[in-house]
Amino acid sequence: METKAETAIPYDLKDRFGIVTGAASGIGQAAAVHLARMGAAVALVDLNQAGLEETVALMGRQSDAPTLVFTADATDDGEVQRVVSETADAFGSLDFLINSAGILRRSGFLEMPLEEWDLMIRVNLRGPFLYCRHSVPHMVRQGRGVVVNVASLAGRSSSILGGAHYTSAKHALIGLSRHMARELGPRGVRVNAFCPGATLTPMTVNSTTEEEIEAVAATIPRQRWATPGEQAAVIGFLVSDASINITGACIDSNGGSLMI
């Protein structure tokens, strides 16, 4: 049995190439910046062009690795296929996919419009599925790849900060990740769900009152909300070879909280 320590630095992502969706703000933006700091070349995807420009500027302060930018709808199959194809052609490789794009609504179950249910499922579940569907074949051909689907602590239990549609989509995303891991592990592709707890992103802050933020913080053992940068560090770990034996997992980063 080989016992000699590896000489490679496990957190070094130099010569790794991938896609981050939802890269214009929040955890997606922080993940893109963190991965660039680790040496990766990243394709940024979002509908918010101004936010993408901000992300590019932040990345430029951390790395000189190449960056691609796409304004695209994660629920449109044709647009997703274009993003993945052009990224793989430009980089010559597709080593990781971070599905971070998502939206949050807070309608009560009894008052929830059907259109809002459909929208939440499309963005928070169909979108990640489409990016996986078009990205994974490239990874299989290479014999390696990593997918991180950003779910939520709501996908572990439920959430007072999001509606039943948000909770349902995140539960399903965890299930999708675990099933993909089982199928794709023998072909060199690792798939994990990442479940952040309460995090101070524009998405959550814009839909939450200051009183609610304080009330949620009081329920967290660490007594505070996480920052996007703290969550991005976990994503970087999951992309790196330091997590080479982790697949089919649901990785929590919630400050010890059981629900949000």
Q: Supply the pLDDT for residue 259.
A: 66
Q: Does this model's pTM top 0.75?
A: yes
Domains with residue ranges and CATH for the chain: 17-197+228-251 (3.40.50.720)
- Give pLDDT, residue 204: 83
- Beta bridge pairs of residue 19: 43, 97
Q: What is the pLDDT of residues 148-190, one digit of tens each?
A: 999 999 888 877 777 899 999 999 999 999 999 999 999 999 9
- Quick: pLDDT tens for 131-151: 999 999 999 999 999 999 999
Q: Is the pLDDT of residue 5 over 50?
A: no
Tell me what the mean pLDDT of segment 91-112 comes to: 93
Q: What percent of the chain lies above the pLDDT cut of 90?
A: 76
Is 166 annotated as catalytic?
Answer: yes
Q: Are 9 and 241 in contact (CB under 8 A)?
A: no
Is the pLDDT assigned to residue 2 strictly greater than 80?
Answer: no
Pick the closest to residue 99 from 55, 162, 147 (CA basis).
147
Residue of 17, 96, 166, 225 marked active site: 166
Q: What is the chain's mean pLDDT, rounded?
A: 92
